[in-house]
């Protein structure tokens, strides 16, 4: 028996044997064993939903959809220009949007990385 035949013959029987009640009140009459048998398909359905949600949602910054939580939020776009002649020997420019001294890195990325598992860091310019 191939995998295809195994799935086609097993899953319909498995699903039709689940103790899903016909009415709302039937949920309150399920036994402990019935509830246990509903755990695996529930885990699969929730897992598929979770993965689908994260696939559709895409990557987010800070769980809000906005990477910038504090820097010139009133501006339509945050654009900065730095004259290269004014840059000291070494400058670190923030790329994580967490710094308190924009546009320069103040090390705030370290806490962000620690809290999220991210790996953000500055752009370091050397002269």
Residues 6 or more apart whose Cβ sits within 8 Å of residue 74: none
Examine residue 113 and tell whether it contacts ligand FES (CB under 6 A). Answer: no
Q: Of the candidates 7, 76, 109, 119, which one interacts with ligand FES according to CB under 6 A?
A: 109
What phi and psi values does residue 49 have, to the nearest 5 degrees? -65, -45
Examine residue 121 and tell whether it contacts ligand FES (CB under 6 A). Answer: yes
Token pair, residue 59, equals 């990557």
Examine residue 106 and tell whether it contacts ligand FES (CB under 6 A). Answer: yes
Buried b (16+ CB within 10 A) or exposed e, 41-58: eeeeeeeeeeeeeeeeee
Examine residue 98 and tell whether it contacts ligand FES (CB under 6 A). Answer: yes
Please say which residue, 38 or 125, places its beta carbon nearer to ligand FES.
125
By CB under 6 A, name the binding residues for ligand FES: 94-96, 98-99, 105-109, 120-122
């Amino acid at each position: 028996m191939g995998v295809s035949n195994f799935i086609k013959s097993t899953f319909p029987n498995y699903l039709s044997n689940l103790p899903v009640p016909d009415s709302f009140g039937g949920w309150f009459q399920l036994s402990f064993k019935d509830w246990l048998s509903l755990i695996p398909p529930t885990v699969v359905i929730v897992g598929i939903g979770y993965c689908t949600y994260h696939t559709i949602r895409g990557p987010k910054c800070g769980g809000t959809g906005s990477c910038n939580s504090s820097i010139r939020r009133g501006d339509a776009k945050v654009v900065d220009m730095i004259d290269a002649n004014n840059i000291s020997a070494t400058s670190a420019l923030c790329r994580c949007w967490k710094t308190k001294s924009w546009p320069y890195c103040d090390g705030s990325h370290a806490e962000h990385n620690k809290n999220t598992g991210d790996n953000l860091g500055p752009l370091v310019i050397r002269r």
